[in-house]
């Protein structure tokens, strides 16, 4: 699988990456065997970029990735995790389920912490859960309400770790693009992860983040390119999720119209959704989740499918994409 660089840090990301939210039991519990099978199927597909976070299943995603990658050559893959939510033991929570969307016991609780000590502790805890001695990429995770702490304490702490060699590249991951663009302009980042804001349905990041990233030489990872499920099937289904909630009717109808254009051009909605972000020169990788080998193989098939140039032109003609975007070209 082709790779794209993260600045000049010696880090290269495969164009398709596997995200770890599902391995943290997002929405539903999966078995350790299915989680391992998803990672194995991704590896067989050529995926060498894996992303996780302490937030995903209160550390479960990191532990599963650690076990699944333990027998892989460390120099052959890139792994990213995140800081900002420290996990603190909660002995009274073992009888409850986590209240943040992950089907796991609430034996830990999340504490927002972008301080220097908090960042360093979070990295050390992640290394222990992953069974690693260094990290390739670390993101500040969702600092939406914590700008000052993140820029004044969290980012310098990551920069220290980068200078020490404990982390190769550093960045920020968020569900919005405007603050990410501000981070790009004001901090010496290597990479940012934007979730759901540069997809076949939504292109807000094209107005702020992507131009800033190009100007400053910052790589962009496009996550949640299925918009939490709305673009994950050839035909959007009633009740499909968008940004973790049931999709509003106008977006559902828009997705259906795009699906009809896909059918006319012999492609599918998931294939187009995976290919679209990579048309922009700032985007290095698209990251998707999978809960088992079957889902990962379906993602691989969609990623490898051909999306003809005429498809993008019809989307423009039907006002289903705005003019002026950088569109994919055939490999």
Active site residues: 56
First vs last C-alpha separation in the chain: 12
Counted residue by residue, the chain has a size of 331
User: Which tokens is 122 given?
Assistant: 């979070």
Distances (CA, A) of 150 to 39, 62, 155, 187, 194: 31, 22, 6, 11, 17
- Bridge partner residues of 18 (DSSP): 50, 288
Tell me which residue of 25, 189, 16 sits closest to 104, measured CA to CA.
Answer: 25
- Cα angle 80, 81, 82; round to 5: 135
User: Which tokens is 133 given?
Assistant: 């001695």
């Amino acid at each position: 699988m082709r790779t794209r660089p993260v600045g000049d840090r010696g880090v290269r990301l495969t164009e398709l990456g596997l995200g770890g939210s599902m391995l943290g039991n997002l929405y539903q519990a999966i078995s350790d065997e299915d989680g391992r099978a998803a990672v194995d199927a991704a590896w067989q597909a050529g995926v060498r970029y894996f992303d996780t976070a302490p937030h995903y299943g209160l550390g479960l995603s990191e532990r599963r990735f650690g076990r699944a990658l333990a027998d892989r050559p460390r120099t052959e893959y890139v792994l990213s995790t995140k800081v900002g939510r420290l996990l603190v033991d909660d002995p009274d929570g073992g009888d409850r389920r986590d209240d943040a969307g992950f089907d796991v016991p609430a034996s830990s609780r999340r504490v927002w912490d972008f301080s220097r000590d908090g960042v360093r502790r979070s990295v050390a805890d992640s290394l222990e859960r992953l069974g690693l001695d260094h990290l390739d990429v670390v993101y500040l995770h969702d600092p939406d309400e914590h700008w000052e702490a993140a820029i004044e304490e969290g980012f310098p702490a990551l920069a220290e770790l980068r200078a020490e060699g404990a982390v190769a590249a550093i960045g920020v991951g968020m569900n919005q693009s405007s603050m990410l663009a501000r981070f790009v302009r004001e901090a010496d980042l290597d990479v940012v992860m934007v979730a759901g804001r540069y997809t076949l349905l939504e292109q807000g990041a094209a107005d702020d983040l992507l131009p800033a990233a190009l100007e400053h030489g910052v790589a962009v990872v496009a996550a949640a390119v299925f918009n939490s499920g709305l673009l994950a099937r050839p035909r959007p289904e009633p009740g499909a999720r968008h940004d973790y909630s049931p999709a509003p009717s106008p977006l559902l109808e828009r997705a259906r119209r795009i699906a009809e254009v896909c059918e006319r051009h012999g492609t599918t909605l998931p294939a187009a959704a995976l290919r679209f972000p990579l048309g922009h020169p700032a985007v290095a990788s698209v990251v998707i989740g999978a809960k088992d080998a079957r889902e990962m193989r379906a993602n691989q098939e969609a990623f490898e499918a051909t999306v003809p140039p005429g498809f993008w032109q019809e989307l423009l003609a039907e006002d289903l994409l705005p003019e002026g975007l950088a569109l994919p070209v055939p490999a």
